[in-house]
Structure 1
Amino acid sequence: YICIYMYIYIYIYILAYHSNDFGTQGVGLPLQIFFCLVMVTILLVALLGNVVVCLMVYQRSAMRSAINILLASLAFADMMLAILNMPFALVTVVTTKWIFGDAFCRVSAMLFWFFVMEGVAILLIISIDRFLIIVQKQDKLSPQRAKVLIVVTWGLSFIFSFPLAVGSPLLQIPPRAPQCVFGYSIEPGYHAYVLILMLVFFFIPFMVMLYTFMGILNTIRHNAIRIHSHTDSICLSQASKLGLLSLQRPFQMNIDMSFKTRAFATILILFSVFTVCWAPFTAYSLVSTFSEGFYHKDSFFQISTWVLWLSYLKSALNPLIYYWRIKKFRDACLDLMPKYFKFLPQLPGNTKRRIQPSAVYVCGEHRSVV
């Protein structure tokens, strides 16, 4: 509640103070109010949802599997992104200019890419782990190894993002963007850093994850075909032995393989959300770096706001995907909530058998099934 009141107070104060300062470089007042409402919603969902994920993995020993530890690291990165970056972008959308100074501009850009690259690295590790389990039949990721990989990814993300904090390359404070982003430059070193960052952050992880998912889908398809063909051959042999081949069709066995593919489907959804949310921001960063005309367009602020908050949307969608797809997470989330605060919908899942000690179970004399 304190966070909500603080953001509402900041918004009303800045809106009243700068009500006459909206220029052509910003956005109109109706669109500005819409952006602010959407931003506050995304910020609160990203903050609260990812805090719940971190608390569950920290408090419950049963939730500390390798993949859950990785998801907790991803949630922590998204939570820090919501705390240390989103509020300042929200203020900049209202004021239509960066008011926090040059030094904090560099620090903010460093933190932004630091947390973003960490989240991408965790998603890449999870995708490779699913590939090794399903395709290579190798389950090598233990909780201890997951913790080591988390430390390594945090270190590598810091190495790639730290040059922004010391001004190498030197970021320009954009006059029409809601956050310190890459702008147009003619320096070769600036171009090289942006290209390397985009490759490490988006293009290389995207290609690797796409390759792993295509391999997993191909393996699942071949396994399903092999299982069904093996089932048909067994049914035909049994029917021929009984002399029923000409009398009836072989029995078709319905094999439920959802328990093998559900975890992969969850990771595939996370990958799809990552692609949809971050592909426009990647293209926007590259175009604004190499195209002077695009960087100096009057609509640059509005375009920047759309793509930036589309990328922030991923941090809010991830915990909702966990609640939707992972039953253990859903049950633990509902257990953590007070009884008067359980407003989330009950999604279908495996029903639990509850046996009451006081109940009397009677079996009929001629009844074979209880």
Structure 2
Amino acid sequence: MSNDSSLPDVWEASDWANTSQCPPSVGGATFLIVAYSAVIAIGLLGNAGLVFIIARQQELRNVTNILIANLSCSDILMCVVCLPVTVIYTLMDRWVLGEALCKVTPFVQCMSVTVSIFSLVLIALERHQLILHPTGWSPAAGHSYLAVGLTWLVACFISLPFLSFNILTNDPFQNISLPANPFRDHLICMELWPSDKHRLAYTTSLLLFQYCLPLLLVLLCYLRIFLRLRRRRFDNFRCSAYCGRAQRINAMLLAIVIAFALCWLPLNVFNALFDWNHQALPDCQHDAVFSACHLMAMASTCINPVVYGFLNSNFQRELRSTLQRCQCGNQTAESYESFPLSTVGSEGMTKFTPSLSLSRQSEAADWVNPDHPADC
């Protein structure tokens, strides 16, 4: 799933010669530069803004927000390390960035993707626990920090093979039968495994445990949550507003998962096809197909700030307040009730006073935790 910044060692010398004779067009190269630049800009600014706002406000540091911030951190790492390197490698069709980046780039990308999918799993499990077992154990902020640390450790361990088996070499170009070999001094970053069986076992395991099984677990959690909230709505009319708010929040989080799955699906299919039958891919269209699949996968770095942040009125309000403080110095920013960033916290239901108007009560209700069963 994550080995997309280098080409595996299953190609023969003739394969490299054929693809090297199909340079990208000027229009295609321009499109790649513009598209990747847009993804990098949106991913960096959006995710950095989301992390900044969550870290800046103490009341925003509930379990789900911490996991959302962790998801954004992994996307930032992807934007900083992997995207620029992949653009350079794809356009130049050879590696000019040194041996260290040859090993580090696929390692970082695998680690970042693993952290992202594990964060989505943890968010789904937290929602499942809070809504299906509201009177049972509920995670606290300290538990989320521990989970974040373990997630990065496991992701590092899973990604270690890329540090061992990615090498910088010009071997595929040495035996090309051309009168004057123009590629003899070209270097490529590729995987060199002990055998094809080892490589296929690892890449297939990544596909299963880094994509298929986690997403299946997440979808199962949200399906059970949906069924439970629908039953609550029919069982008790007093739960109608509560369940409606909870379903809106869960729908937003589920949208992040589905968008992530759809963005990474083409690249996973491409990698699986390349691993098992690379000759099925046409030589001159290989780079174009790969670039399209990779660009769609990298667009996943923009999902978190767009879906969770910029479609969330609470985030927009915090962002406006922060920008006003930056522009106006010590001037007082717009005054409003300081509620949590989202309604996905694990704290208890806030009690409203009679002095609040109906409109303010409705606004406040959208900020509190929808998972507490007290009013149901």
Q: 2:78: which partner in 1?
A: 81
1:312-351 CA deviation, whole Å, 9 max, x = no partner? 101112101122343332221121224898xxxxxxxx97
Q: 1:326: which partner in 2?
A: 312
Among candidates 29, 32, 54, match of residue 35 of structure 1: 32
- Structure 1 distance, partners of 2:305, 2:210, is 21
Asked if residue 166 in structure 1 is aligned to residue 164 in structure 2, the reply is yes
Q: Displacement, 1:29?
A: 1.5
- Structure 1 distance, partners of 2:318, 2:218, is 29
Among candidates 235, 246, 253, match of residue 226 of structure 1: 235
Q: Given the superposition, is the C-alpha separation of residues 302 and 69 from structure 1 closer, same or farther in structure 2, using an over 3 Å criterion?
A: same
Q: Displacement, 1:180?
A: 6.2
- Superposition TM-score, scaled by structure 2 size: 0.71
Conserved 8 A contact 1:183-1:295: no
Q: 1:207: which partner in 2?
A: 216
Q: Given the superposition, is the C-alpha separation of residues 128 and 76 from structure 1 closer, same or farther in structure 2, using an over 3 Å criterion?
A: same
Conserved 8 A contact 2:99-2:167: no
- Superposition TM-score, scaled by structure 1 size: 0.72
Q: Given the superposition, is the C-alpha separation of residues 171 and 209 from structure 1 closer, same or farther in structure 2, using an over 3 Å criterion?
A: farther
- Structure 1 distance, partners of 2:360, 2:27, is 49
Q: Given the superposition, is the C-alpha separation of residues 91 and 223 from structure 1 closer, same or farther in structure 2, using an over 3 Å criterion?
A: same
1:8-62 CA deviation, whole Å, 9 max, x = no partner? xxxxxxxxxxxxxx96534321122112111101101101111111211222111
- Structure 2 distance, partners of 1:326, 1:28, is 40
Among candidates 148, 154, 157, match of residue 155 of structure 2: 157
Amino acid at match of 2:153: G
Conserved 8 A contact 1:46-1:79: yes
- Structure 1 distance, partners of 2:263, 2:310, is 19
1:54-93 mapped onto 2 (5 Å cutoff): 54-93=51-90
Amino acid at match of 1:200: F
Q: Given the superposition, is the C-alpha separation of residues 82 and 255 from structure 1 closer, same or farther in structure 2, using an over 3 Å criterion?
A: closer
- Structure 2 distance, partners of 1:75, 1:183, is 32
Q: Given the superposition, is the C-alpha separation of residues 183 and 296 from structure 1 closer, same or farther in structure 2, using an over 3 Å criterion?
A: farther
1:234-245 mapped onto 2 (5 Å cutoff): none
Q: Given the superposition, is the C-alpha separation of residues 28 and 224 from structure 1 closer, same or farther in structure 2, using an over 3 Å criterion?
A: same
Conserved 8 A contact 1:184-1:288: no
Q: Displacement, 1:187?
A: 1.3
Asked if residue 112 in structure 1 is aligned to residue 109 in structure 2, the reply is yes
Conserved 8 A contact 1:164-1:171: no
Amino acid at match of 1:158: C
When structure 1 is superposed on structure 2, of 330-339 and 48-57 the one drifting more is 330-339
- Structure 2 distance, partners of 1:351, 1:323, is 23
Root-mean-square deviation over aligned CA pairs: 3.1
Q: Given the superposition, is the C-alpha separation of residues 139 and 24 from structure 1 closer, same or farther in structure 2, using an over 3 Å criterion?
A: farther
Q: Displacement, 1:102?
A: 4.5
Conserved 8 A contact 1:120-1:201: yes
Conserved 8 A contact 1:26-1:302: no
Structure 1: runs of 5 or more not aligned: 1-21, 232-252, 342-349, 354-370
1:302-313 mapped onto 2 (5 Å cutoff): 302-313=288-299
1:104-151 CA deviation, whole Å, 9 max, x = no partner? 222211011011110111111001111111223345121000000001
- Percent sequence identity is 16
Q: Displacement, 1:198?
A: 1.4
Amino acid at match of 2:223: M
Q: 1:134: which partner in 2?
A: 131
Asked if residue 264 in structure 1 is aligned to residue 250 in structure 2, the reply is yes
1:74-113 CA deviation, whole Å, 9 max, x = no partner? 1111111101111112222332333224442222110110
- Structure 1 distance, partners of 2:195, 2:281, is 13
Amino acid at match of 1:64: R
Q: 1:249: which partner in 2?
A: none
Conserved 8 A contact 2:167-2:189: no
When structure 1 is superposed on structure 2, of 141-150 and 292-301 the one drifting more is 292-301
1:214-239 CA deviation, whole Å, 9 max, x = no partner? 111211222222235xx8xxxxxxxx
Q: How many residues align?
A: 298
Among candidates 146, 149, 169, match of residue 148 of structure 1: 146
Conserved 8 A contact 2:115-2:155: yes
Q: 1:5: which partner in 2?
A: none
1:37-56 mapped onto 2 (5 Å cutoff): 37-56=34-53
When structure 1 is superposed on structure 2, of 330-339 and 271-280 the one drifting more is 330-339
Structure 2: runs of 5 or more not aligned: 1-18, 174-187, 328-357, 362-376
Conserved 8 A contact 1:171-1:183: no
Conserved 8 A contact 1:185-1:191: no
